[in-house]
């Protein structure tokens, strides 16, 4: 059965790119642009991995990660945080919120795919 990946990204081009790359890799993918529906979508989709943009309208990706990690049905799901804000201390704050992985934008396909496979335990 294909691994399921939830892509949370408000930028349409980035979301499409991430989803297309992941689908080409054989994953089942659901894309979400609105941070306000992430938790409900994740509970219904039951992902193996969540790729989370940090800068979202209406809600912070950091807050969503923390909420996921407090949720009984989602707490085990690894999170790969992807952000354009890669300043000093950002990675530490993102990991402290509960993200297991971190990539700074712009994201190259090779490191992106490697990070996804690592978090999913795929060689």
- How large is the average pLDDT for residues 1-27? 95
- pLDDT band of 118, cuts 50, 70, 90: very high
Q: Which of 93, 49, 42 is nearest to 67 (CA)?
A: 42
The pLDDT tens digits of the residues spanning 25-67 come to: 999 999 999 999 999 999 999 999 999 999 998 899 999 999 9
Q: What's the pTM? A: 0.95
Rounded to whole angstroms, the maximal C-alpha distance in the chain is 39
The predicted structure's pLDDT at residue 39? 96
- pLDDT band of 123, cuts 50, 70, 90: confident
CA atoms of 44 and 70, how far apart (whole Å): 17
Q: Which residues pair with 5 in a beta bridge?
A: 29, 49
The predicted structure's pLDDT at residue 17? 96
The pLDDT tens digits of the residues spanning 65-103 come to: 999 999 999 999 999 999 987 677 888 999 999 999 999
- Residue 20: partners with Cβ closer than 8 Å, 6 or more residues away: none
CATH class of 4-120: alpha beta
């Amino acid at each position: 059965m294909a691994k399921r990946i939830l892509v949370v990204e408000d930028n349409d081009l980035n979301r499409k790119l991430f989803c297309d790359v992941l689908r080409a890799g054989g994953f089942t993918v659901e894309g979400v642009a609105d941070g306000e529906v992430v938790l409900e979508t994740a509970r219904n989709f039951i992902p193996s991995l969540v790729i989370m943009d940090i800068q979202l309208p209406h809600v912070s990706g950091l807050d969503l990660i923390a909420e996921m990690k407090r949720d009984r049905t989602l707490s085990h799901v690894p999170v790969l945080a992807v952000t354009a804000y890669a300043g000093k201390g950002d990675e530490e704050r993102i990991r402290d919120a509960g993200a297991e992985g971190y990539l700074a934008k712009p994201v190259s396909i090779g490191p992106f795919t490697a990070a996804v496979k690592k978090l999913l335990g795929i060689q």
